[in-house]
Amino acid sequence: MTGYIGNFVNDSEQIIALASVAVMWLGLTALGAYAGGPKRFETTAPFLGWAFASTVFTLGGVFTTVSFTTIGLILAALAVLSGFLAYRRDGYLIPAGTYKIIILALPILVLVSGMAGSQWDEFSNWLTTPKLLIEIHTFPTEENAHRGGNLIANPFGWHYINYMASSIGGRFLESAGALTNVIILLTFSFASIRLIRTGMGQEYYNIDPSWKLCAIGVLSTTLLNTTFAQKVALTAYVDVSTAAVTGLTAVIGWHMLGALRDGRHKESLQLALQVGFLMALLVNLKQSTMAMAVIILGALLLAGLRDPKIKIYDVISLLPRMIIPAIIIYSTWRYYIAQELTGNEMNILPYSSWIVEYIPQILKAMLSTLSKKGAYLLLMAVIICFGIRGFAHYKTPFDRFATIAAAIFIGHNAFLLFSYVTVFGKTDALKVSSYWRYNMQLGLVGVAFCAYGAGILWQRYKGSKHWLKNLSWLPVILIILAPFIFANKLRFDRLQPVSHYRTVAKDLKGLLAKGSTLCVIDPQGSGESAVIARYELGGDGIYKSYLSVFHDLKKENFRSSLIDQDYSHLLIHSQRSEWREVLGVEMDNSHSYLLEAMHNGGWEIIKNWKKP
């Protein structure tokens, strides 16, 4: 469907995607609800369930020959049993107020359910690898790794989400990752609500929040979240889940230290184990998140050891529960990489290649990037200032939380600086490649800090804020109307030229037989049309290479390249006059063309597509 309505209504695939992701998330919630206990921090349940599922898939996939289909069925049975037992024990399964948040977020959920992949990294990795999983139902090996994403050796914790949702739906669901990202943010809204109440001195378990408080919770993780960016949050990227697990681990770790400080040792042990499972999930999301886990652990130790009312021995005694689950998962995956997927990940460069002398320029570029994100930079500065103050005084739970949050912010950015110097190479380091995206992983730590602080401020000054009551329904109105107001902007997947590239690439499936070899030629493009063609053509080995604006081949070199590679077909998306002379075919810039090699060494057009 075209036009404005097409932003929300596409086809019946949306219903399947929504239902599949909802069932999957409910199943993970059931697994985690039983494990989390009756007085659990409501937000943790689906993440603990996800951590359990991630552990089972990883250990089962590495050490057994059981297919992921069988593992998924076992997890489904366990989810039903866990849900039944948790409900019988607690009288509830999902957090109070869930139906309110679903109603408030229904427009954005419907909109996202119709979205398709549109970003380079989705086609090169975050959609390609789970798509391969749906085909082979086990981990890739050296024989088929080329059919997966360019980060095929990254841990599969996030890919399991798309795999489980697609398995429930009976087909590969491109929107599953984006939908799950939205649901993750909505789930974290309950953490914001709980922290606001905690700041106000209302430490209740599963008390139904008002519509206004639910709307504030959703706003805190979306429109008011300083790191919310639709081209990350509404895609299959892993950054939202990394941010959520990071933020939630910090919050549970804070509660753990509070229980230890108050002498509730049994509760602190239970929370330490929850931190451990969240850490295990975190290290299983992507290669770099092991560093994030170490940073969080360091922040918790710093805050715990600084507290004069917590004994050093008590803090150290919690360490095994916090680190052993993550060590098991990380070691298991490292073992698998060594056996099957060597050389498919980023590595630290030899010391001679470190660019230590460029540290001042890199720091300047990092600060320049952050200066363009004013709200986030201000929040980071506030958190660090409160963290330093909290570490110096250390009297209240807020001091403890500020210390943890500040340590995570400083530690993560120090790690990024180290990575630019030792891993990225000079070109990417000097332009601090993806620096802003990496900082998005701290966004929900900031949300948690602000929610708790807002609760404290409201409790302290509520008597002088009567005028705010007249605006209390504004958050509800904003949440409901925003998807309709910004629909065209949110549906960036419908924009050209990506939509055209996808249409052409899908048609290729019916035009090229197995054994054909294709080169994508787009001398005015970045190569995005090529990664889309590779993604759509799948694992048949048809796609071979591409030439883009970064390939400055002269006429004879271009001719030699075509002869040497012996392509059977060329997909032309843009023109370069001297290259067109080599092909000997009349073409214009208003069409894309599929060319087939002729027996006499020439080329002929077998299909063209009008560009929008």
Burial code of 355-368, b = ≥16 C-beta within 10 A, e = fewer?
beebeeebeebbee
Per the listing, tokens 């604006």 go with 549
Rounded to an integer, the average pLDDT of 491-497 is 93
* Structure token pair of residue 519: 């080169």
Which of 404, 370, 392 has the alpha carbon at shortest distance from 250? Answer: 404
pLDDT of residue 469: 63
Whole-number average pLDDT of the chain: 93
Q: How many angstroms separate the CA atoms of 505 and 235, rounded?
A: 20
* Structure token pair of residue 49: 């369930």
566: left (phi over 0), alpha (psi -120 to 50) or beta: left
Q: How many angstroms separate the CA atoms of 282 and 150, rounded?
A: 21
Residue 402 dihedral angles phi and psi, to the nearest 5°: -60, -40
Apex 291 CA angle, 288 and 297, nearest 5: 145
pLDDT of residue 120: 93
Please, is 598 exposed, middle or buried when counting C-beta atoms within 10 Å of its C-beta (0-12, 13-18, 19+)?
Answer: exposed
Rounded to an integer, the average pLDDT of 180-199 is 96
Q: How many angstroms separate the CA atoms of 68 and 129, rounded?
A: 14
Taking only the tens place, the pLDDT of each residue in 561-577 is: 887 888 999 999 998 88
Task: Look at the alpha carbons of 593, 597, 601, 604 in this order and tell me if their dihedral is positive or negative.
Answer: negative
* Structure token pair of residue 170: 């009976």
Which of 602, 575, 606, 603 has the alpha carbon at shortest distance from 588? Answer: 575
Taking CA atoms, 300 is separated from 249, 251, 313, 401, in Å, by 10, 10, 14, 9
Taking only the tens place, the pLDDT of each residue in 87-101 is: 999 999 999 999 999
538: left (phi over 0), alpha (psi -120 to 50) or beta: left
Residue 24 dihedral angles phi and psi, to the nearest 5°: -60, -45
Q: Confidence class of residue 553 from pLDDT cuts 50, 70 and 90?
A: confident
Q: How many angstroms separate the CA atoms of 79 and 85, rounded?
A: 10
Q: How many angstroms separate the CA atoms of 412 and 419, rounded?
A: 10
Task: Look at the alpha carbons of 223, 404, 94, 174 in this order and tell me if their dihedral is positive or negative.
Answer: positive
Residue type, 354: W
> Could you tell me where in the chain the CATH 3.40.50 domains are found?
498-610
Cα 166 from chain centre: 17
pLDDT of residue 466: 63
DSSP string, 10-31: --THHHHHHHHHHHHHHHHHHH
Taking only the tens place, the pLDDT of each residue in 413-471 is: 999 999 999 999 899 999 999 999 999 999 999 999 999 999 999 888 776 656 566 66
8 A C-beta contact, residue 202 and residue 53: no
Alpha carbon dihedral 258, 260, 264, 266, in 10-degree steps, equals: 120
* Structure token pair of residue 600: 């006499």
pLDDT of residue 138: 96
* Structure token pair of residue 278: 């969240």
8 A C-beta contact, residue 416 and residue 380: no
Taking only the tens place, the pLDDT of each residue in 255-296 is: 999 999 999 999 999 999 999 999 999 999 999 999 999 999
Stronger pLDDT, 344 or 342, i.e. the higher one: 342
Taking CA atoms, 525 is separated from 63, 520, 521, 528, 575, in Å, by 44, 11, 9, 7, 10
Which of 166, 130, 136, 167 has the alpha carbon at shortest distance from 151? Answer: 130
For the domain covering 498-610, report its CATH number: 3.40.50
8 A C-beta contact, residue 143 and residue 200: no
